[in-house]
Amino acid sequence: MRNKLLLTILTPEKTVFSDKEVDSVVIPAAGGEMGVLPGHAPFAVQLREGALHYRDGRHRELFSISGGFAEIGGDKVLILAEEAELAKEIDVERARQAYQKAKAALAMRGADLDLDAAQAALRRAVARIRIAELKKKHK
């Protein structure tokens, strides 16, 4: 057993993060945050919108994750996310605009509104804003 995890983050569009050795990973599982250390038992879990972070020594990196699944096995963590973005690359103004747009759509509740999609867009925007602010705080 190694004392590192091999972390990979994929979205349908791209490889966000590939085969990076890290000490620990915390993922936004559907039931709450879940920490993963080397040697973890095999596990698959659904992801929700939220923060994924890893530690490598003293270095900590933060990502915004929107849905998907995580596959954990021994010394590997594979994240298959609908969307994933490095916290320092989040366009906060764009996230705030998406938040306002989703909020307005939910307030109007038109007959053609896809309620699930609007609520998901709102959760995604809130998560991205919160994660960008967290990153700014921990600089």
Question: Mean pLDDT, the chain, as a whole number?
Answer: 88
Please state, in angstroms and rounded to a whole number, the distance separating the CA atoms of residues 107 and 27: 31
Q: Is the pLDDT of residue 1 over 60?
A: no
Cα 42 to Cα 77: distance, rounded to the nearest angstrom = 10
Instruction: Tell me what percent of the residues of the chain surpass a pLDDT of 90.
Output: 45
Per-residue pLDDT at 139: 58
List of domains in the chain = 5-87 (2.60.15.10), 91-137 (1.20.5)
Phi, psi of 112 (to 5 degrees): -95, 10
CB 1 within 8 A of CB 75: yes
pLDDT at 29 over 90: yes
2 phi/psi in degrees, rounded to 5: -80, 165
pLDDT tens figures, 56-106: 998 999 999 998 999 998 799 999 999 999 888 888 888 888 888 888 888
Label residue 116 exposed, middle or buried (CB < 10 Å: 0-12, 13-18, 19+): exposed
Cβ–Cβ < 8 Å for 63, 53: yes
Q: 117 CB contacts (<8 Å, ≥6 apart)?
A: none
Query: According to the model, what pLDDT value does residue 107 have?
Result: 82
Locate tokens 């366009």: which residue? 91
CA–CA distances in Å: residue 39 to residues 47, 59, 82, 84, 121: 21, 21, 26, 25, 35
Band of the pLDDT at 2, cuts 50, 70, 90?
low
CA dihedral 130, 132, 136, 139 (to 10 degrees): 120
Sign, CA torsion 40/35/122/115:
positive
